[in-house]
Amino acid sequence: MTDITDKEAQHLHRLILFSDAVFAIAITLLAIEIHPPEHWHGVADLFGQMQHKLMAYAVSFAVVGIYWISHRRTYSRLRKANGVLDILNLVMLGLLALLPLATELLWESGSAAAALVYVGLVTAIGLAHAVAWGYAALLGDLAEPMPTVEKIYVLLRVALLPGLMCGLTFLSIITRTPWGWLGIALVLGALFLVNRLLVGSGKLSAAQIAED
């Protein structure tokens, strides 16, 4: 790590601070369009009327929270940043900033089409995040030293998995069917097997194992 200049480390630092601010604003703005109903009688009626909004808020808050955790985990593995990563990260943040809008769409309409748009946006954020990590780790040589298999593992495990899990959880809630939960179980099972294999073959570093 002796070949990183102060300026490159500073670049990464500022990129992370900026991203954190956008995450924090997006997560807090989720609640700002929610207003109390005009007429309500008692706490139970209030929650009854606001049920859809509060549930949509909780789901979106969880989505942004999960992506923040994923962002923190992937970017903590970078050593520096460059202009391409700036742009890829901005694309991800630009999609993330649309989540309050998609959340409003969801609670107002609640239709299958609205759910489709919502899940599509969540997936798009996940893909944009995965592209940024993929570039940083595989093409841009911005990550700390680690075997290529681990870079791909992080791509799947840390960057793509959250979006997949969000989509499947959401699918289960919306359709009130167990298919989403089943999908989650399958994905987690498969990932556990791959994890065992990687550890067994010694290709996953201790740091990665500890973090799991």
Min. distance of Cβ 144 from a second copy in angstroms?
A: 9
Min. distance of Cβ 40 from a second copy in angstroms?
A: 8
How many angstroms separate the CA atoms of 109 and 115, rounded?
9
Measured from the CB atom, the residue of 79 and 203 that comes closer to a second copy is 79
Min. distance of Cβ 13 from a second copy in angstroms?
A: 10
Measured from the CB atom, the residue of 58 and 188 that comes closer to a second copy is 58
Min. distance of Cβ 102 from a second copy in angstroms?
A: 9
Measured from the CB atom, the residue of 55 and 200 that comes closer to a second copy is 55
CA dihedral sign of residues 140, 144, 149, 155: negative
What are the tokens at 78? 């970078």
Q: By the 8 A CB rule, do 74 and 16 touch?
A: no
Q: Which distant-in-sequence residues (6+ apart) come within 8 Å of 114 by Cβ?
A: 105, 106, 108
Phi, psi angles (nearest 5°) of residue 78: -90, 155
Measured from the CB atom, the residue of 95 and 160 that comes closer to a second copy is 95
Measured from the CB atom, the residue of 102 and 198 that comes closer to a second copy is 102
- Neighbouring C-alpha atoms within 13 Å toward the C-beta of 113: 2
Measured from the CB atom, the residue of 178 and 205 that comes closer to a second copy is 205
Chain contacts with a second copy (rule: CB under 8 A): 7, 10-11, 14-18, 20-32, 34-36, 40, 42-43, 46, 57-58, 61, 65, 68-69, 72, 76, 83, 86-87, 90, 93-94, 97-98, 100-101, 104-105, 108-109, 113, 116-117, 211
